[in-house]
Amino acid sequence: MSLIEIKDLKVHYPIRSGFWNRVTDSVKAVDGISFNIEAGETYGLVGESGSGKSTTGKSVVGLEKVTSGSIMYKGKDITKKSNRNHLDYNHDVQMIFQDSLSSLNPRKRIEDIIAEPLRNFEHLSKDDEKLRVLQLLDIVGLDADALYKYPHQFSGGQRQRIGVARAVATNPKLIIADEPVSALDLSVQAQVLNFMKKIQREFGISYLFISHDLGVVRHMCNNIAIMNRGRLVEIGTRDDIYNHPLHIYTKRLLAAIPETNVSQRKAHREARLAVEQVYREQQDKYYDEHGDAYPLVQVSPTHAVALPEALAQQIVQEGEVKA
Ligand SMILES: Nc1ncnc2c1ncn2[C@@H]1O[C@H](COP(=O)(O)OP(=O)(O)OP(=O)(O)O)[C@@H](O)[C@H]1O
Ligand SMILES: [Mg+2]
């Protein structure tokens, strides 16, 4: 059994308009996605802005009301609040938020911010609690004097580490990491990612790692799902996605990774322009008449792509869809 099994998850937001403020339409932020997260792994969820990644992450921690579908944990559907309470789910699953400044209460000191989940779930004595918070600060590489400071007194990278310290405080099984390093400089990104890996090894945590950047995900994730306008267009192992991408949207995201090798830049740019041209000219093959992605079809035990069955087979054999 997987740690988490997400099945046909949908989150639709109502759009109201007109004099009576009636619901006239809906934003299909998440529109029928399924994937599993195994214990101890880092699962990547990747897509461009607005594709529904944060909405998915918030649904998995139980912060978003789900329209339909299920999220199974220890054999129970945690989209129901009673099951979350019964399983101690809010203790086992924590979130690192995309925006560290607005997710940390500006009026609280770091000691209280990090201790909050401990106070909710583990009733420690004052001394034990302080010791634990100091340990957590040490794990994320911050000095003890951080205890009495406020969030605005830290840099973006330091705040993100505080978010990590808070997320690991209760020794959770799963952490939803929503763009944990996107707002940071490259050098700081590597630091934060490295210690996320370190605490994963030490504590056996699983991550749902959300990012718009396939370059970052490559170093973190064993399995990856590619999200496009609320649906999944491709699922596979790291090798499937980086070495044998099948959907044009995945190829676009791959082509968008910056090339660091100067001698390769011209070839990289040409390859990117070629992918963009296929994307413009062959949209109707990759998306249905409403512009939505097709259901996923399995092309190998680990690899699935959102295409009509015949096209999926053709693309596997020939590498691309014929014009
Ligand atoms: N509370 C809400 N009410 C209405 N629409 C919403 C709400 N939250 C999100 N949306 C819409 O749902 C879609 C998906 O949003 P989401 O925040 O999940 O995207 P994302 O993939 O996390 O994007 P980003 O990379 O920019 O963080 C967007 O079109 C967004 O406008
Ligand atoms: Mg987001």
Residue nearest to atom 10 of ligand 1 (CA): 29
For residue 320, the model assigns a pLDDT of 58
Q: Which residues of the chain have pLDDT under 50?
A: 323
Residue 216, amino acid: V
Structure tokens at 146: 């951080």
Domain span(s) for CATH 3.40.50.300 in the chain: 4-243
CA-nearest residue, atom 31 of ligand 1: 50
DSSP string across 220-279: T-SEEEEEETTEEEEEEEHHHHHHS--SHHHHHHHHTSPP--GGGHHHHHHHHHHHHHHH
Q: How many angstroms separate the alpha carbon of residue 266 from the centre of ligand 2?
A: 32
Class of domain 4-243: alpha beta
According to the model, what pLDDT value does residue 323 have? 46
User: Is residue 62 lining ligand 1, measured as CB closer than 6 Å?
Assistant: no
Ligand showing the shortest atom-to-Cα distance for residue 55 = 1
**Closest ligand (CA of 64):** 1
Coil, helix or strand for 198? helix
Contact between 322 and 314 under an 8 Å Cβ cutoff? The reply is yes
* Furthest CA-CA distance within the chain: 69
The per-residue pLDDT for range 200-212, each reduced to its tens digit, is: 998 899 999 999 9
Contact yes or no for 136/85 (Cβ under 8 A) = no
Whole-number Å distance between alpha carbons of 63 and 110: 23
For ligand 1, atom 7, which residue shows the shortest CA distance? 13
- Residues with Cβ within 8 Å of 91's Cβ and at least 6 positions away in sequence, in order, are 117, 120, 121, 170, 172
> Smallest Cα–Cα separation from 36: which of 70, 62, 81?
70
